[in-house]
């Protein structure tokens, strides 16, 4: 059992828990105290607003859930992906990969909770340059998933084979 919960894997699980808790806390903050649902937009900076959005689809708003059945199919697919990421993380040894997987896992869990409780994911972070929006409106979970994927991809492209023999 101690081989399963190594220091690096515990760090990954801690990152996943931190991302999950942060995501849920910030969503609560923008919905309850800041009342973003009623206010719709809170202008903060010339390039950043809080803008209430209900995302009923998955990544980039694709595969929108138009029925209760579709909603639960998306919850199931996302939960399956989260399970695969968790198993991958628990088999991984290298901290860099575990950090990326922890970010993805925490973000996925945050969005699963929204979709299962509400039927949609709450998005609110809106970066823009005038009317140009280089990103869709997102949340902490989305940002963590994106950063985690970038870490995994960068490590796979720029870090040599893990099991490569040393000369």
Residues assigned a catalytic role: 123, 142
The Cα 166–Cα 153 span in angstroms is: 23
- Residue carrying structure tokens 């059992």: 1
Tokens linked to 142: 């989305």
Tokens linked to 125: 């972070």
Helices (H), 3-139: 7-31, 36-39, 68-91, 95-118
Q: Give which of 30, 21, 1 is closest to 105, Cα–Cα.
A: 21
């Amino acid at each position: 059992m101690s081989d399963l919960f190594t220091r690096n894997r515990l760090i990954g699980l801690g990152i996943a828990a931190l991302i999950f808790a942060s995501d849920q806390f910030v969503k609560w903050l923008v919905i309850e105290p800041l009342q973003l649902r009623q206010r719709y937009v809170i202008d903060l900076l010339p390039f950043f607003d809080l803008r209430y959005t209900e995302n009923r689809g998955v990544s980039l708003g694709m595969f929108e859930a138009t029925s209760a059945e579709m909603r639960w199919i998306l919850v199931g697919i996302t939960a399956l992906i989260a399970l695969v990421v968790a198993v991958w993380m628990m088999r991984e040894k290298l901290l860099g990969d575990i950090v990326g997987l922890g970010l993805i896992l925490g973000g996925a869990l945050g969005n699963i909770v929204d979709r299962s409780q509400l039927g949609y994911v709450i998005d609110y972070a809106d970066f823009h340059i005038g009317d140009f929006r280089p990103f869709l409106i997102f949340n902490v979970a989305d940002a963590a998933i994106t950063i985690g994927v970038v870490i995994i991809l960068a490590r796979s492209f720029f870090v040599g084979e893990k099991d490569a023999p040393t000369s």
